[in-house]
Protein backbone atom coordinates (compact mmCIF):
# COMPACT_ATOMS: atom_id res chain seq x y z
CA UNK A 1 0.00 0.00 0.00
CA UNK A 2 1.86 3.07 -1.15
CA UNK A 3 -0.93 5.48 -2.17
CA UNK A 4 -2.62 7.69 0.42
CA UNK A 5 -5.86 6.15 1.65
CA UNK A 6 -8.93 8.15 2.75
CA UNK A 7 -7.93 7.48 6.37
CA UNK A 8 -4.47 8.94 5.74
CA UNK A 9 -6.03 12.09 4.29
CA UNK A 10 -8.36 12.33 7.28
CA UNK A 11 -5.38 12.04 9.65
CA UNK A 12 -3.50 14.68 7.66
CA UNK A 13 -6.46 17.02 8.09
CA UNK A 14 -6.16 16.50 11.84
CA UNK A 15 -2.40 17.15 11.61
CA UNK A 16 -3.08 20.39 9.72
CA UNK A 17 -5.47 21.55 12.46
CA UNK A 18 -2.74 20.87 15.05
CA UNK A 19 -0.24 22.79 12.91
CA UNK A 20 -2.60 25.77 12.84
CA UNK A 21 -2.82 25.61 16.65
CA UNK A 22 1.00 25.58 16.84
CA UNK A 23 1.17 28.76 14.75
CA UNK A 24 -1.24 30.49 17.12
CA UNK A 25 1.10 29.51 19.97
CA UNK A 26 4.04 31.10 18.16
CA UNK A 27 5.59 27.86 16.93
CA UNK A 28 6.47 27.03 13.33
CA UNK A 29 3.24 25.34 12.15
CA UNK A 30 3.88 21.64 11.84
CA UNK A 31 1.55 18.98 13.19
CA UNK A 32 1.73 15.19 13.43
CA UNK A 33 -0.64 12.33 14.25
CA UNK A 34 0.34 8.72 15.03
CA UNK A 35 -2.46 6.25 14.37
CA UNK A 36 -3.22 2.54 14.26
CA UNK A 37 -6.20 1.95 12.04
CA UNK A 38 -8.70 4.63 12.97
CA UNK A 39 -7.29 5.01 16.49
CA UNK A 40 -5.16 8.07 17.22
CA UNK A 41 -2.42 7.07 19.67
CA UNK A 42 -0.40 10.26 19.74
CA UNK A 43 -0.49 13.73 18.29
CA UNK A 44 1.23 17.03 18.69
CA UNK A 45 2.56 20.19 17.18
CA UNK A 46 5.92 21.83 17.42
CA UNK A 47 6.67 22.71 21.05
CA UNK A 48 10.26 23.85 20.70
CA UNK A 49 9.73 27.35 22.05
CA UNK A 50 7.09 26.47 24.64
CA UNK A 51 9.14 23.63 26.13
CA UNK A 52 12.66 25.03 25.55
CA UNK A 53 13.26 21.64 23.96
CA UNK A 54 15.36 21.31 20.79
CA UNK A 55 13.88 17.86 20.16
CA UNK A 56 10.21 18.87 20.44
CA UNK A 57 9.28 18.68 16.78
CA UNK A 58 5.72 17.57 16.08
CA UNK A 59 6.79 14.05 15.06
CA UNK A 60 8.80 13.47 18.24
CA UNK A 61 5.97 14.78 20.43
CA UNK A 62 3.46 12.48 18.67
CA UNK A 63 5.68 9.37 18.75
CA UNK A 64 6.55 9.83 22.42
CA UNK A 65 2.85 10.08 23.24
CA UNK A 66 2.08 6.98 21.18
CA UNK A 67 4.78 5.01 23.00
CA UNK A 68 3.29 5.98 26.34
CA UNK A 69 -0.21 5.07 25.12
CA UNK A 70 0.89 1.62 23.95
CA UNK A 71 3.33 0.93 26.78
CA UNK A 72 6.12 0.12 24.31
CA UNK A 73 8.59 2.03 22.16
CA UNK A 74 8.02 -0.13 19.08
CA UNK A 75 5.46 1.47 16.76
CA UNK A 76 5.66 -1.06 13.91
CA UNK A 77 1.86 -1.30 13.65
CA UNK A 78 1.40 2.47 13.48
CA UNK A 79 1.46 5.12 10.76
CA UNK A 80 2.20 8.83 11.12
CA UNK A 81 0.78 11.76 9.17
CA UNK A 82 2.91 14.91 9.41
CA UNK A 83 2.38 18.17 7.58
CA UNK A 84 6.05 18.71 6.61
CA UNK A 85 8.72 16.31 5.36
CA UNK A 86 10.57 15.02 8.45
CA UNK A 87 14.07 16.38 9.25
CA UNK A 88 17.01 14.03 10.00
CA UNK A 89 16.14 13.92 13.71
CA UNK A 90 12.52 12.98 13.09
CA UNK A 91 13.27 10.54 10.27
CA UNK A 92 15.84 8.87 12.52
CA UNK A 93 13.29 8.72 15.33
CA UNK A 94 10.81 7.01 12.97
CA UNK A 95 13.43 4.36 12.18
CA UNK A 96 14.27 3.95 15.88
CA UNK A 97 10.54 3.51 16.61
CA UNK A 98 10.20 0.90 13.84
CA UNK A 99 7.26 2.97 12.56
CA UNK A 100 5.28 1.27 9.79
CA UNK A 101 4.47 4.14 7.44
CA UNK A 102 4.90 7.89 7.20
CA UNK A 103 2.72 10.24 5.15
CA UNK A 104 3.89 13.82 4.83
CA UNK A 105 2.52 17.00 3.31
CA UNK A 106 4.95 19.58 1.93
CA UNK A 107 8.51 18.71 0.98
CA UNK A 108 11.24 20.52 2.93
CA UNK A 109 14.03 21.44 0.52
CA UNK A 110 16.24 22.78 3.35
CA UNK A 111 16.07 19.94 5.86
CA UNK A 112 13.91 17.10 4.52
CA UNK A 113 15.32 13.66 5.25
CA UNK A 114 12.80 11.41 3.46
CA UNK A 115 13.27 12.78 -0.06
CA UNK A 116 14.90 16.22 -0.31
CA UNK A 117 18.35 15.78 1.33
CA UNK A 118 18.35 12.21 2.65
CA UNK A 119 16.29 9.01 2.52
CA UNK A 120 16.80 8.05 6.15
CA UNK A 121 13.39 6.33 6.44
CA UNK A 122 14.34 3.91 3.66
CA UNK A 123 18.08 3.29 4.07
CA UNK A 124 18.94 -0.42 3.61
CA UNK A 125 21.97 0.04 5.89
CA UNK A 126 19.79 0.85 8.91
CA UNK A 127 17.92 -1.81 10.89
CA UNK A 128 14.44 -0.71 9.81
CA UNK A 129 12.88 0.72 6.66
CA UNK A 130 9.44 2.23 6.41
CA UNK A 131 7.04 3.18 3.65
CA UNK A 132 7.02 6.90 2.89
CA UNK A 133 4.59 8.96 0.87
CA UNK A 134 4.80 12.72 0.43
CA UNK A 135 2.65 15.43 -1.10
CA UNK A 136 -0.57 14.68 0.81
CA UNK A 137 -2.50 17.97 1.24
CA UNK A 138 0.81 19.73 0.60
CA UNK A 139 -0.81 22.99 -0.53
CA UNK A 140 -2.62 23.36 2.79
CA UNK A 141 0.64 22.82 4.69
CA UNK A 142 2.54 25.32 2.53
CA UNK A 143 -0.21 27.90 3.03
CA UNK A 144 0.09 27.59 6.82
CA UNK A 145 3.88 27.93 6.74
CA UNK A 146 3.84 30.88 4.36
CA UNK A 147 1.23 32.73 6.40
CA UNK A 148 3.27 32.14 9.58
CA UNK A 149 6.53 33.45 8.17
CA UNK A 150 4.80 36.39 6.48
CA UNK A 151 3.38 37.44 9.86
CA UNK A 152 6.79 37.05 11.50
CA UNK A 153 8.53 39.18 8.90
CA UNK A 154 5.85 41.81 9.39
CA UNK A 155 6.79 42.26 13.05
CA UNK B 1 39.84 23.26 18.92
CA UNK B 2 39.42 19.81 17.48
CA UNK B 3 41.41 17.61 19.87
CA UNK B 4 39.84 16.29 23.07
CA UNK B 5 40.72 18.47 26.04
CA UNK B 6 41.14 17.18 29.62
CA UNK B 7 37.65 18.52 30.40
CA UNK B 8 36.17 16.52 27.51
CA UNK B 9 37.81 13.36 28.83
CA UNK B 10 36.49 14.10 32.31
CA UNK B 11 32.95 14.54 30.91
CA UNK B 12 33.31 11.30 28.95
CA UNK B 13 34.22 9.52 32.18
CA UNK B 14 30.96 10.82 33.65
CA UNK B 15 29.09 9.67 30.52
CA UNK B 16 30.64 6.20 30.90
CA UNK B 17 29.43 6.00 34.51
CA UNK B 18 25.91 6.90 33.34
CA UNK B 19 26.13 4.24 30.62
CA UNK B 20 27.05 1.64 33.25
CA UNK B 21 23.98 2.69 35.27
CA UNK B 22 21.83 2.28 32.14
CA UNK B 23 23.09 -1.29 31.70
CA UNK B 24 22.14 -2.12 35.27
CA UNK B 25 18.63 -0.83 34.48
CA UNK B 26 18.40 -3.16 31.46
CA UNK B 27 19.04 -0.49 28.83
CA UNK B 28 21.73 -0.62 26.15
CA UNK B 29 24.62 1.15 27.90
CA UNK B 30 25.02 4.58 26.36
CA UNK B 31 25.46 7.75 28.40
CA UNK B 32 25.65 11.44 27.50
CA UNK B 33 26.57 14.68 29.25
CA UNK B 34 25.87 18.23 27.98
CA UNK B 35 28.21 20.83 29.46
CA UNK B 36 29.18 24.46 29.21
CA UNK B 37 32.67 24.93 30.48
CA UNK B 38 32.86 22.87 33.64
CA UNK B 39 29.12 23.12 34.28
CA UNK B 40 26.99 20.06 33.54
CA UNK B 41 23.61 21.23 32.20
CA UNK B 42 22.09 17.91 31.25
CA UNK B 43 22.92 14.23 31.42
CA UNK B 44 21.25 10.93 30.91
CA UNK B 45 21.42 7.35 29.78
CA UNK B 46 19.23 5.39 27.44
CA UNK B 47 15.68 5.28 28.81
CA UNK B 48 13.93 3.65 25.85
CA UNK B 49 12.64 0.64 27.76
CA UNK B 50 11.96 2.40 31.06
CA UNK B 51 9.98 5.23 29.43
CA UNK B 52 8.44 3.29 26.48
CA UNK B 53 9.92 6.14 24.44
CA UNK B 54 11.51 5.46 21.04
CA UNK B 55 13.27 8.85 21.20
CA UNK B 56 14.82 8.40 24.65
CA UNK B 57 18.42 7.88 23.58
CA UNK B 58 21.02 9.24 26.00
CA UNK B 59 21.77 12.27 23.79
CA UNK B 60 18.11 13.30 23.53
CA UNK B 61 17.60 12.88 27.28
CA UNK B 62 20.68 15.02 28.01
CA UNK B 63 19.85 17.76 25.48
CA UNK B 64 16.24 18.05 26.65
CA UNK B 65 17.46 18.46 30.20
CA UNK B 66 20.00 21.10 29.15
CA UNK B 67 17.29 23.06 27.31
CA UNK B 68 15.15 23.06 30.44
CA UNK B 69 18.13 24.13 32.57
CA UNK B 70 18.98 27.04 30.27
CA UNK B 71 15.41 28.03 29.44
CA UNK B 72 16.13 27.90 25.72
CA UNK B 73 16.39 25.24 23.02
CA UNK B 74 19.56 26.70 21.50
CA UNK B 75 22.66 24.97 22.88
CA UNK B 76 25.26 26.73 20.73
CA UNK B 77 27.51 27.40 23.74
CA UNK B 78 27.42 23.78 24.91
CA UNK B 79 29.32 20.60 24.13
CA UNK B 80 28.16 17.00 24.54
CA UNK B 81 30.15 13.91 25.44
CA UNK B 82 28.45 10.65 24.47
CA UNK B 83 29.84 7.15 24.77
CA UNK B 84 28.67 5.95 21.33
CA UNK B 85 28.62 7.65 17.91
CA UNK B 86 25.21 9.35 17.58
CA UNK B 87 22.54 7.77 15.35
CA UNK B 88 20.66 9.82 12.70
CA UNK B 89 18.02 10.90 15.23
CA UNK B 90 20.56 12.13 17.75
CA UNK B 91 22.84 13.74 15.19
CA UNK B 92 19.81 15.53 13.74
CA UNK B 93 18.81 16.64 17.24
CA UNK B 94 22.31 18.07 17.77
CA UNK B 95 21.95 20.12 14.58
CA UNK B 96 18.45 21.25 15.60
CA UNK B 97 19.85 22.31 18.99
CA UNK B 98 22.71 24.24 17.32
CA UNK B 99 25.04 22.34 19.64
CA UNK B 100 28.62 23.60 19.55
CA UNK B 101 30.66 20.39 19.75
CA UNK B 102 30.17 16.66 20.12
CA UNK B 103 32.74 14.22 21.48
CA UNK B 104 31.92 10.54 21.16
CA UNK B 105 33.52 7.31 22.28
CA UNK B 106 33.05 4.19 20.16
CA UNK B 107 32.10 4.36 16.50
CA UNK B 108 28.80 2.71 15.55
CA UNK B 109 29.24 0.93 12.24
CA UNK B 110 25.54 -0.02 12.07
CA UNK B 111 23.88 3.31 12.79
CA UNK B 112 26.50 6.02 13.33
CA UNK B 113 25.59 9.32 11.71
CA UNK B 114 28.70 11.41 12.43
CA UNK B 115 31.23 9.23 10.62
CA UNK B 116 30.16 5.65 9.92
CA UNK B 117 27.03 6.01 7.72
CA UNK B 118 26.36 9.76 7.56
CA UNK B 119 27.98 13.06 8.50
CA UNK B 120 24.79 14.77 9.63
CA UNK B 121 26.56 16.93 12.25
CA UNK B 122 28.69 18.50 9.54
CA UNK B 123 26.46 18.72 6.44
CA UNK B 124 26.85 22.09 4.64
CA UNK B 125 23.28 21.77 3.31
CA UNK B 126 21.79 21.95 6.82
CA UNK B 127 21.47 25.20 8.77
CA UNK B 128 24.07 24.35 11.42
CA UNK B 129 27.35 22.46 11.51
CA UNK B 130 29.17 21.37 14.62
CA UNK B 131 32.63 20.13 15.49
CA UNK B 132 32.78 16.38 15.99
CA UNK B 133 35.51 14.25 17.51
CA UNK B 134 35.28 10.49 17.99
CA UNK B 135 37.36 7.81 19.64
CA UNK B 136 37.53 9.36 23.13
CA UNK B 137 37.76 6.53 25.71
CA UNK B 138 36.34 4.27 23.02
CA UNK B 139 37.71 1.07 24.56
CA UNK B 140 35.83 1.70 27.80
CA UNK B 141 32.59 2.23 25.86
CA UNK B 142 33.08 -0.90 23.77
CA UNK B 143 33.78 -2.94 26.93
CA UNK B 144 30.47 -1.82 28.45
CA UNK B 145 28.51 -2.63 25.29
CA UNK B 146 30.16 -6.03 24.83
CA UNK B 147 29.55 -7.02 28.45
CA UNK B 148 25.89 -5.99 28.15
CA UNK B 149 25.20 -7.98 24.99
CA UNK B 150 27.15 -10.97 26.30
CA UNK B 151 24.91 -11.04 29.38
CA UNK B 152 21.80 -10.73 27.21
CA UNK B 153 22.81 -13.60 24.94
CA UNK B 154 23.47 -15.71 28.04
CA UNK B 155 19.86 -15.44 29.14
Cα distances (angstroms) measured from residue B9 to each of A6, B6, B22, B78: 54, 5, 20, 15
Reported ipTM: the value is 0.96
Residue-wise pLDDT tens digits, B85-119: 999 999 999 999 999 999 999 999 999 999 999 99
What pLDDT score was predicted for residue B152? Answer: 86
B113 and A60 within 8 Å at the Cβ level: the answer is no
A38, A43, A49, A59: which is the annotated catalytic residue? A59
Q: Which residues of A touch B96 (CB under 8 A)?
A: 54-55, 57, 87, 89
Q: What is the pTM assigned to this prediction?
A: 0.97
Q: Collapse the DSSP code of B106 into the 3-class scheme (helix H, G, I; strand E, B; otherwise coil) and give the result.
A: strand
Tell me the pLDDT tens digit for each residue of B28-82. 999 999 999 999 999 999 999 999 999 999 999 999 999 999 999 999 999 999 9
Q: What DSSP letter does each residue of B28-53 carry, written as one string?
A: ---EEEEEETTEEEEEEE--HHHHT-
CB pairs under 8 A between A and B: 125
pLDDT at B2: 64
Alpha helices (H) in chain B, listed in sequence order: 6-24, 48-51, 58-70, 88-96, 138-154
Our answer to whether residue B59 is catalytic in this structure is: yes
Contact between A140 and A146 under an 8 Å Cβ cutoff? The reply is: no
Residues of chain B neighbouring A114 (CB-CB closer than 8 A):
none
What's the CA gap between B80 and B34, in Å, rounded?
Answer: 4
Provide, as residue numbers in chain B, all residues whose Cβ is less than 8 Å from the Cβ of A55: 55, 60, 63-64, 93, 96-97
Task: Give A64's contacts (C-beta < 8 A, 6+ positions apart).
Answer: A42, B53, B54, B55
- The pLDDT, as a whole number, for residue A155 is 66
> Do the Cβ atoms of B96 and A87 come within 8 Å?
yes
Name the nearest CA neighbour of A106 among A135, A69, A126, A63.
A135
Nearest to B52 among A51, A71, A126 (CB): A71
Amino acid sequence: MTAAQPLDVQMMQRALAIAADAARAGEIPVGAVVYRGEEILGEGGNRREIDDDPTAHAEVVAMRQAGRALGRWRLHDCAMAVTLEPCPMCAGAMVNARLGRVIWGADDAKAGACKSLYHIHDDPRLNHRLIGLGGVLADESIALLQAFFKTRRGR
